A and B are shown apart, each in its own frame.
Chain A
Amino acid sequence: MSTAAVASVPTWRRPGRLVASLAVLVVWSLLYLVLRGRDTLPLGETETTPLHQSFNHLSDSIASNRNSSPLFVYFFNYLQIWMTQFVTFVQSLISQPGFGRPAPLIGWLGVLALGGFLAWLLAGWRSAVLAVLGFAFIGWQGLWTEAMDTLALTLAAVLIAVVIGIPIGIWIGLSRKAARVITPILDFMQIMPTFVYLAPLTLLFLIGPASSTIAVLIYSIPPVIRITGHAIRSVPESTTEASDSLGATRWQTLTQVMLPMAKRTIVMGINQTTMAALSMVTIAALISAPGLGQTVLQALTTLDVGTAFNGGLAIVIMAIVLDRTTTAAGEGTERTFEHGLPPRLRWGVAGLGAIVTAVLVWESATFWWANTFPTGHSIGPSIVSGVASASTWIQDTFSGVTNVLKNLISGGLLDPLQTLLTESPFWLVIIALTALAAILGGRWAALSTVVCLLIVVGLNLWQNSMETLAATLIATVLTMVFAIVIGVAMGRSRRVDRIVRPTLDAGQVMPAFVYLVPFLVLFGASRFTAIVSAMVYAVPPAAKVIADGIRGVSESTVEAATSAGASTWQIIHQVQLPMASRALALATNQGLIYVLAMVVVGGMVGAGGLGYQVVNGFVQDRFIGKGLAAGLAIVLLGLMLDRISQAVASRVDPSGAR
């Protein structure tokens, strides 16, 4: 039994593949020594090619057709106007002057009261206290208006996402056919690095609330659709059948059986959509979305770590408040119908709360003091200067340690790979990568690799793409090292899992931007900062997949190995890891996609590569075309990495995992 279990090594770990891959790398390196510097397709930072200029023209012609093309006149423009009006309406409620008033309708006092009351109603008093204290603290940081802009944009997007997403989710939950059509679209929406679709959206919807809201929708609507579908599908058939047997119509079964039973899970979907929306609202600062993202973005581009930290902290607090409230609301739906207060008392308290809230909202609409957050005692400036000097101090004091780390990774890992990729002739890189893809992933992986890379060549951004690829690969390797250590520890011990998992979950809800800030404080602006923040962003999802894979290894196999006298280390690397190899491959896939998304964002803090070109496209008009091309190149790299890692995952012997 134990020998059989230990011997069941999945096929892809056969030494043949490994040796062949190494051989490719060796040959490539040798050829590099001979051919170095030839056909490397360089392009200066400020140079553009005819292709990029033609993209510029394309963008100009779209702009000039805006008022003549029927597609714009009858569709995009309406969508744009409608979205803008809706978002402006929400903004004038809490963040911006509107309705002919010099200030938002509901001031800080009203928002605090309303936030606390709603959090209490939906989630309970703990969430209410958290919401009030959290928002008050953000105001104290001197970021009230920015935070309210972020909140307004997030709420507007979530509202639209829920109104559109839940019906679609119900539809894919009820119809397999719909699920088959819609799921790949959702996959695509989620796999695309968020950076990439910002620029094309501004072409269609101009810079402003409409394009940022649509960008946020693209990123944040998949969770609520997916999870609603899943919730509907998980309603036990025995229950729906019982309802049918009593003569219920489809509508009755849906509204009285399925939706009530799925409610809790659907709220979880709304939670995920809210967090995704918040994350994207901050990133949409790149296309001028107002709010905290703007604060952080401007600070990042001027490397003002103090301000970036202050803004990042506000985003984190907002994330925690929104996450806790929506999570507790999901748990609360079950609580209220069982042990809630007696209904009469509950209504009484709710009514009282509503009256108090209404009075406070009225005050905030009427009196200046209750409308504009008092700035007299703001803690913001102290945070900014404190963090700035702390950062200087840390970088001065620990520069020994941090520099060693930085140089070890940059010089020891990143530079050799980046040199190999950028200094080899482009055709050699394509041949070598295609060969690797063929060996590891098979025919189709090789085909997508060669196609993707050839298009990247055609986009005239070869060097930048190779820089991004190098950083992505190194960050993924490091991510996997950490993810395996954490994942194995979690998979083997329930206790570790209980302690670590909430941290990982919390890490995943944070907007991507925020990750850059602490590492910017530690390491300054560099490629290394981008790599480390990409790791922090990508380790949680990868570690969770690995932990589940390790736990999936059948207990009896582990028991058999233990009884055969295997040591803990032997069990991990000879039994559990090989048998969880499918999970490892899937985790690598996840890791790659997350890392790529973040490495690109890192372009803003000195990581260069495609990310920098994208950002540059937002900033300077004449680089719009180059930025668009860079966005396309990112999509292609992502597609290539996804195809290869998916192919590897599907080749892993499924009998290895349970």
Chain B
Amino acid sequence: MTAHAASPDAMVSVRNLWKVFGPKAAEVPKSPQLQQLSRRELMDQAGCTAAVRDATFDVSRGEVFVIMGLSGSGKSTLIRLLTRLIEPTAGQLLLEGDDLMTRDTKAMRDLRRSKVSMVFQHFGLLPHRRVVDNVSYGLEIRGVDKATRTRRAMEVIELVGLSGYERSFPHQLSGGMQQRVGLARALAGDPDMLLFDEPFSALDPLIRRDMQAEVIRLHKEMGKTMIFVTHDLSEALKLGDRILIMRDGAMVQTGTGDQLVGAPADEYVRNFVQDVPRSHVLTLRWVARPERLGEEVADLTLPADTIIRDAIRCVISAGRPVRVVDGGSGGAGGSGGKVLGVVGEDEILTSIAGLEDE
């Protein structure tokens, strides 16, 4: 990645962030020669493992940013670097323009108490405390008095749909409900940003879908910035405004869901996304073709950002190709916006069948 300056306007701005484990960890990010080595070569030559290599990205305020990769790709390490739960080896780390690398332990602790909260894969609940005391634990640490923190805990418990279970112990709850407690605990301190480390991986599929919907709802209601780690592509596509794909500690590609599916950066990403139903992710922008001369087109236009799946009915019923407009409002008459091309039955059908590569 090129070393352009960190952006103070972003919620989070990460530049050339490294995490190396091993005896000579600090030397790896400094040495251009060691930087180049593959994971195995680095292990053999320096006895080090680079969990995160040269990560650079920005997350804007209110965005849901997903970090995705297989296990061992460094995604869980990366998300922990953001609040220095794991100490970065090198790099720059800004939160709302504030340089986190220069903060001392106490300042980082204050930041964790008030600005950034985290939800964990294995929940990390305190088994000896009731739900309400688990949720208020973060406030208790801050020194909030009991009445206030209990009141606040009850509010969040209601927010995540756990009313009636305040007096239960964690082990009396199902996995999904336990994670709601984890979510409530993270929300209790009213942080500006939420970090999720594979929060739903340990849950079964139906519960996972509920919880994803829950996160989407909370995001809509509160508009908090969220950084979400997952190994599940469909989860990433469902939740993420943008997705960062990692492999062996390095960033492979960053983009919106349709960018990843429509223009995978390499074979690795292509393999990742090949099973995704393209018509569910891609927008008309990706399948529009130039209008042929003298072609008869339908009377209406569609915005370029319409998901293909949502345009099917419209295109089929029109009976002929439909113009695709960038930025316009669409609708009958086709006012405003630049015409990108047209989409007809053929384009729709090939994208549904996933045939355009052939």
Contact = CB atoms under 8 A, between A and B. Distances in A.
A242 B142 contact: no
The dominant DSSP class at the A interface is helix
A179 interface: no
A338 B169 CA distance: 8
B137 interface: yes
Contact of A239 (B110, B112, B113, B124): B124
A338 B137 CA distance: 19
A247 B138 contact: yes
A256 interface: yes
Contacts of B185: 242, 246
A379 interface: no
Contacts of A247: 109-114, 138, 141-142
A241 interface: yes
6 contacts: A242-B120, A245-B117, A247-B109, A247-B138, A256-B137, A260-B126
A504 B142 CA distance: 49
Contacts of A252: 141
Interface of B: 83, 85, 109-114, 117-118, 120-129, 137-138, 140-142, 169, 182, 185, 189, 195
B112 A245 contact: yes
Contacts, number: 69
Given A246-B141, A247-B112, A247-B113, A236 B85 contact: no
A261 B138 contact: no
Nearest to A239: B124
Contacts of A263: 128
A64 interface: no
B128 A242 contact: no
Contacts of A39: none
B142 to A, nearest CB: 7
Given A241-B85, A246-B112, A261 B118 contact: no
A238 interface: yes
A245 B118 contact: yes
Contacts of A239: 124-126
Nearest to A260: B128
Nearest to A259: B128
A257 interface: yes
B103 to A, nearest CB: 12
B137 A238 contact: no
A187 B126 CA distance: 33
Contacts of B110: 247
A569 interface: no
Contacts of B195: 245
Interface in A237-278: 238-249, 252, 256-257, 260-261, 263
Contacts of B123: 238, 242
Task: Identify the 7 closest CB pairs spanning chains A and B, nearest first.
Answer: A242-B124, A247-B113, A247-B112, A246-B138, A238-B122, A245-B118, A238-B124
A253 to B, nearest CB: 9
B133 to A, nearest CB: 10
Contacts of A243: 124, 137, 141
A576 B118 CA distance: 47
Contacts of B109: 247-249
A337 interface: yes
For B85, B111, B141, B142, the residue with the greatest tally of chain A CB atoms inside 10 Å of its CB is: B141
Contact of B141 (A241, A248, A337, A338): A248
For B114, B120, B182, B189, the residue with the greatest tally of chain A CB atoms inside 10 Å of its CB is: B120
B275 to A, nearest CB: 31
A242 B189 CA distance: 14
Contacts of B85: 241, 244-245
Nearest to B111: A247
A564 B122 CA distance: 42
Nearest to B169: A338
A245 B122 CA distance: 14
